[in-house]
Structure 1
Amino acid sequence: MAEGFDLIVFDWDGTLLDSAAAIVHAIQASCRDLDLPAPSDERARYVIGLGLGEALRHAVPELRESDYPRLIERYRHHFLARDHELRLFEGVPQLIAELAGRGRMLGVATGKSRVGLDRALAHTGLGMHFLATRCADECFSKPHPAMLEQLMDELGADPARTLMVGDTTHDLQMARNAGVAGLGVGFGAHPAAALEAERPLACVHTPRDMARWLLERA
């Protein structure tokens, strides 16, 4: 194996969980509930990874500030209606267990809420493998480096020995802002070309490629 990393931090939606399409649907459906023009798939996918309030303000910038709580409520209604249908990408449970078994410290940095992430970790059974996690409702949202900085501080990891794995430019920009390496995941929310423009160590294009890259190089 190559030099490797002590700490590997994963984004959740679109990186470990196949949820990007469900998030886009929930954003568009919540807009229709409020008789608003639904954003395009591309615009809705772009905001994945941001904290929910920030994401909806980017996706629907014309809405009055006082109406965002209602939009957030409708988003949560639509997303939770399909939440139980979402599945981890193929091979993810085995990958996470293998990395943990090799002694890698594992973390999560996500735009989900704490309640949402805890529910997802319990539902998927992966919670036991992650030593520390950070969510958008308890930290600055991506691409601010705070999530990674707090995780590294909590786990005693050096930036030079930390890797961020994510499917959005927000993830890779956060990694750069925190001074850590990034691995782009091209099968999630943002197109591979956009991820490659952020100059990650590599950009993988399937869940199997992600597992192979991490097991060989991380």
Structure 2
Amino acid sequence: MLVILDWDGTVCNSEARIVSCMQRASDRVGLPVLEPAAIGNIIGLGLPEAIAALFPESHSEQRARLRGFYSEEWVAARAEPLPLFDGVLVTLDQLLGAGHQLAVATGKSRRGLNREFEDHGIGHLFPVSRCADETASKPDPKMLREILAETDVDVADAVMVGDTEYDLKMASAINMASVGVSYGVHSRERLDGCRPHRIIDHFTELLEWPPLVA
């Protein structure tokens, strides 16, 4: 089976850094410094879409400056690599050992995802990935369709795993199975409203989902 993973909030514990970088960047632009919950709500969207959702009254020049400042803040904070969630590495190894394929579908930029791959030395585990600056942002399912086409896998043989309703909605749009993770940015209640096939509380529980059981 093809296991397509969201990155931020699913594989990588990055919520706090995303929030702090957005707060610092918005302050530099002169836009309101929003509460963590508001910023956490848009994690998973592409950066332009996230900024538009957070600051709908901002103009195009402010949004462009905010994107630039956010990228600067993110790079400046990179000296300390972000942690992967507990159990991620062992679970990925077991999925591959059982013959499953892995891919990533993320709201990050290509540059950002490649940095994460480099920091953790696991890019080779994901021969196929799609980022928001390469295709349509979630919840549009275009990135999933592109991953399926590149891997030559039928939608019935794939599952999307993510921590937000954006992940689950894009899977639902093309009738792909989905698994929500409760430890990310969206609540279990929000995930449950998208009717995923399962919601897990720890990454290792993926190995207990029947279609992935070796």
1:164 aligned residue (143, 160, 165): 160
* Structure 1 counterpart of 2:29, one-letter code: L
Helix, strand or coil at the partner of 1:134? strand
Helix, strand or coil at the partner of 1:171? helix
Contact 1:185 1:210 in 2 (8 A): no
2:40 aligned residue (40, 45, 53): 45
Give 5+ residue unaligned stretches, structure 1. 1-5
Give 5+ residue unaligned stretches, structure 2. none
Once residues 125 and 30 of structure 1 are traced to their aligned partners in structure 2, the CA distance between those partners, rounded to angstroms, is: 29
Contact 2:91 2:204 in 1 (8 A): no
- Say how many residue pairs are matched: 213
1:123 aligned residue (113, 119, 124): 119
| 1:148 equivalent in structure 2 | 144
Deviation digits for residues 47-80 of structure 1, max 9, x if unmatched? 1111111111111112111221110111112222
1:89 aligned residue (63, 71, 85): 85
The alignment-based identity, stated in percent, is 38
Task: Tell me the TM-score normalized by structure 2.
Answer: 0.93
1:185 aligns with 2:181: yes
Contact 1:27 1:56 in 2 (8 A): no
Evaluate the alpha carbon distance shift between residue 27 and residue 210 of structure 1 in structure 2; reply closer, same or farther with a 3 A threshold: farther
1:136 aligns with 2:132: yes
Pairwise CA RMSD = 1.7
| 1:3 equivalent in structure 2 | none
Contact 1:164 1:175 in 2 (8 A): yes
Helix, strand or coil at the partner of 1:8? strand
Task: Tell me the TM-score normalized by structure 1.
Answer: 0.92
Contact 1:133 1:151 in 2 (8 A): yes
* Structure 2 counterpart of 1:22, one-letter code: R
* Structure 1 counterpart of 2:60, one-letter code: E
Contact 1:39 1:60 in 2 (8 A): no
Contact 2:12 2:84 in 1 (8 A): yes
- Following superposition, which runs of at least 4 residues in structure 1 exceed 3 angstroms of deviation? 207-218
Q: Post-superposition shift, 1:82? A: 2.4
Contact 2:6 2:163 in 1 (8 A): yes
